[in-house]
A and B are shown apart, each in its own frame.
Chain A
Amino acid sequence: MFRFLLGRLAVLIPTFIGVSIIAFSFIRLLPGDPVALLSGERVMSPERHAEISHQLGFDRPIVMQYLDYLWGVLQGDFGTSIVTKKPVIDQFMELFPATVELSLCAIIFAVVVGIPAGVVAAVKRGSIFDQIIMGTALIGFSMPIFWWGLLLIIVVSGILQWTPVSGRISLMFFFPSVTGFMLVDSLLSGQEGAFQSAFNHLILPTIVLGTIPLAVIARQTRSAMLEVLSEDYVRTARAKGLSTFRVVGIHALRNAMIPVVTTIGLQIGVMLAGAILTETIFSWPGIGKWMVDSVFRRDYAVIQGGLLIIAAVIMLVNLAVDLLYGLINPRIRH
């Protein structure tokens, strides 16, 4: 296991360096003067320009600039926002829990609905259930989720008036952020109706963000189940006279889950990308919306820092998935 971990790290470290080079060069590839872009000052006297240039280290050789940048990053300095003048990492830490909360809810939704749907489709292969489930899954897989979000807003929030349109919680409620997770914080606050409000705000974004992972998980579960169901040990289990529920639920499902777990892990990266659209539609104050807003505000320092942090988070999540996979399936460690 230790060697497996070392092998993964040997790949991860050069990738991280590459990612940091991209983030570093991004600001220098933009048309325009990087000093002006990073300081956010449009008109500058030559003296002021030289001063800021020196402050930001732009008067040093490019290699030294990169090493300085990397050194700063390793100490947690991802730059300072041009617009808010706050450190990028602080803003990230403030907004990240919102994205994590939404992504967790979406993945739970996708797993809880997707795996049973896939199992039913596989067990009843070729039946009307199978066709309906797989047809729906293909539609979900083809869904432009930004449109799906708008449709749900029209129907559920607009016509039926069941859920709020945007945000994380009703403005009526105010309590200090303890964990950053609105569902937990609202319970801790003890205010009546706060949890209900936070929950209602989560419903539509969860469905929208979970739709594509749900479709992928259902399809993957079905094909993994079909493969496992034709194995000898399943036939043996059936021959022993075990009930269908036991055969499918215990013998087959466990083995079919191995590829599905990888798929779920890979979906986490997809989630963070999907969060860009979902958060924009529902004005969800997470990192996806933060990045889109920064692109529009031309807050290049935030884009540069955010890009690097998000890539690092995804790489760590993928590493964790790999390690977990190595634990449940010892065959792939070598």
Chain B
Amino acid sequence: MTEVTATTAISTDPTRRARLAEFWYYFSENRGAVIGLFFFLFLVLLAIFAPLVAPHNPTIQFREAVLLPPVWQEGGRATFLLGTDAVGRDMLSRLIYGTRFSLFVGVIVTVLSLTGGILVGVIAGYFRGWIDTVIMRIMDIILAFPSLLLALVLVAVLGPGLTNAMIAIALVFQPHFVRLTRAAVMTEKTRDYVVAAKVAGAGHARLMFKTILPNCMAPLIVQATLSFSSAILDAAALGFLGMGAQPPTPEWGTMLAEAREFILRAWWVVTLPGLAILVTVLAINLMGDGLRDALDPKLKRS
């Protein structure tokens, strides 16, 4: 696999490597971004190796150990490092498995809304005219609703569950990608290199996706990280409202919803899942800030 890419990319290799090095130079200047990146990689590993890392099965109920506090508090047990929830499930294991759901939601929503948004946005920006008008009006309609409300109602139509929540959130996020892509395509379209490619006989599809699109990617990548973190937040919010992942799934938002009645009795069942959401989203947003600094030529201090 690597050999194939290496041979096909041989002519562009030096410039690509130089660009990567330049990217890393600007990215690593932002200390927070590097911390965010490493923490994010840690979460990815945690999600992949969850069955090996987690001390218990996240859905097994230890009936003799209900609402145990974390180990450092009086009454805590060493087998349950972060305590147990109201039906005796190990908090640490549930939190570890929760990274799987959150990262999965982030990836799926971002991929869906990014590819959909790029496809529609490129068409709108490239062809303009009535296609553009129709597409942009439809996007305006989606944007007229508060995103969480629309997602909530969509899930109510489709039925509660993580899959439907992801579809709803992806649909709600799509217009931002469409607008960004369209704007970028419109500015690139009149550039000389595009005209040159056109004169050389490139067809519409080639012009759209091979000539223009790669030069529009910077703002899209930044928006993608932003929607990755927002997707995690919104899916957790839907879970919290009872419309996302359903119990006993160890999804962080759903865990919070189950823990609500214990807020004054057992701080750990409420505090820990929320903290997990916050830290994950924060790491991704830190990365996003670094990406914006590194990719936005306007901000580069050369």
- Taking beta carbons and an 8 Å cutoff, which residues of A are in contact with B? 11, 14-15, 18-19, 22, 26, 29-31, 135, 138-139, 141-144, 146-148, 150-151, 153-154, 158, 269-270, 272-274, 276-277, 280, 288, 291-292, 295-296, 303, 307, 310-311, 314-315
Contact = CB atoms under 8 A, between A and B. Distances in A.
B157 A29 contact: yes
B82 interface: no
B144 A314 contact: yes
Q: Please report whether the interface of chain B is mostly helix, strand, loop or mixed according to DSSP.
A: helix
B27 interface: no
A151 B145 CA distance: 29
Contacts of B32: 135, 138
B150 to A, nearest CB: 8
A314 B263 contact: no
Interface residues of B, number: 42
B267 interface: yes
Contact of B274 (A141, A147, A158): A147
A158 B263 CA distance: 9
Interface string B234-277: 00110011110000000001001000100110010011011001
B146 interface: yes
Contacts of B150: 307
Given A146-B240, A150-B260, A310-B149, A15 B274 contact: no
Interface stretch (B7-15, B120-128, B279-287): B279-287
B60 interface: no
B140 interface: yes
Given A18-B138, A144-B237, A144-B278, A292 B152 contact: yes
B141 A15 contact: yes
Given A26-B153, A291-B152, A292-B241, A147 B145 contact: no
B16 to A, nearest CB: 31
Interface in B110-130: none
A144 B278 CA distance: 6
Contacts of B270: 147, 150-151, 154
A19 B153 CA distance: 14
Interface in B205-254: 229, 233, 236-237, 240-243, 253
B152 A147 contact: no
B278 A295 contact: no
Contact of A150 (B153, B236, B256): B256
B146 A269 contact: yes
A147 B256 contact: yes
A280 B264 contact: no
A153 B265 CA distance: 12
Given A30-B157, A150-B274, A276 B152 contact: yes
Given A15-B144, A288-B149, 13 more contacts: A22-B141, A139-B282, A142-B281, A142-B282, A146-B236, A151-B274, A154-B264, A276-B148, A277-B148, A277-B237, A291-B152, A291-B153, A295-B153
Interface in B139-179: 140-141, 144-150, 152-153, 156-157, 159
Contacts of A18: 137-138, 140-141, 144
A277 to B, nearest CB: 6
A30 B159 CA distance: 9
- Name the residue among B149, B270, B286, B289 with the largest chain A CB count within 10 angstroms: B149
A26 B260 CA distance: 31
Contact of B146 (A14, A30, A151, A310): A310
11 contacts: A11-B137, A18-B141, A139-B282, A147-B274, A151-B270, A151-B274, A154-B271, A269-B146, A273-B146, A277-B148, A307-B150
